[in-house]
Amino acid sequence: MAAVDSELAPEETRSTAYAGKIFREIQEVIDDTKGEAGALIRVLQQAQGLIGYLPAPVIKTISRDLKVPLSEVYGIISFYHFFSTVPKGRHVIQVCMGTSCYVKGGQRILDTLRKEWDLEPEGITADGRFSLETVRCLGCCGLSPVMAVGSDVHGKVKASRLNDILDLYK
């Protein structure tokens, strides 16, 4: 079993013990998948599932241990929207900015999140509770404007109701 880079330090995890546990789990997935077709994506998914995102030390370890060039690993990460190299909040808010949602108030929702929650797109609240993304379409145009919090879709959202909606997510 190859050693996992220990650069993922306490500032990126809850504790040294927690970091060690996470690295052991990632290393097990790496060891179990070496040589398999599709191993890279599987390992990236498992690592992100454990940590919530893919920090550089983890990416370097995966690249080294799977013997996949670092540029190829970053290519996969940047190609698939699912992968993230930055921390995300416990709850990811997606505000639809598609035509229907934009016309019916999507921008007001976004502006309210910026002003009242101090939350910018691709940002995270200070308490780590929420992160914010804008998306082109959530596929619910008949309910516009729409936003999703995790897998929950909220339709006909009014900026004045945002606090009530977000209070559902602790």
| Residues in contact with 112: Cβ distance below 8 Å, sequence separation at least 6, in sequence order | 159, 162
CA separation for the pair 58, 112 (Å, rounded):
35
Asked whether the beta carbons of 125 and 168 are under 8 A apart, the reply is no
Query: For residue 142, what are the contacts with CB-CB under 8 A and spacing of at least 6?
Result: 155
Mean pLDDT of the chain: 88
- Kindly state the average pLDDT of the residues 71-87: 93
Euclidean distance between CA atoms 25 and 47, whole angstroms: 8
In this predicted model, what pLDDT tens digit does every residue of 95-111 receive, in sequence order?
A: 999 999 999 999 999 99
Q: How much is the pLDDT for 4?
A: 46
Overall fold of domain 91-166: Glutaredoxin (3.40.30)
Other residues' Cβ atoms within 10 Å of the Cβ of residue 45: 15
Q: Determine the pLDDT at residue 3.
A: 46
Euclidean distance between CA atoms 100 and 7, whole angstroms: 45
% of the chain surpassing 70 pLDDT: 89
Question: Could you state, in order of their start, the residue ranges of all structural domains in the chain?
Answer: 10-79, 91-166
Q: What is the pLDDT of residues 38-73, one digit of tens each?
A: 899 999 999 998 888 999 999 999 999 999 999 999
142 by Cβ neighbours in 10 Å (0-12 / 13-18 / 19+) ranks as exposed
Task: Give the C-alpha separation, 150 to 17, whole Å.
Answer: 29
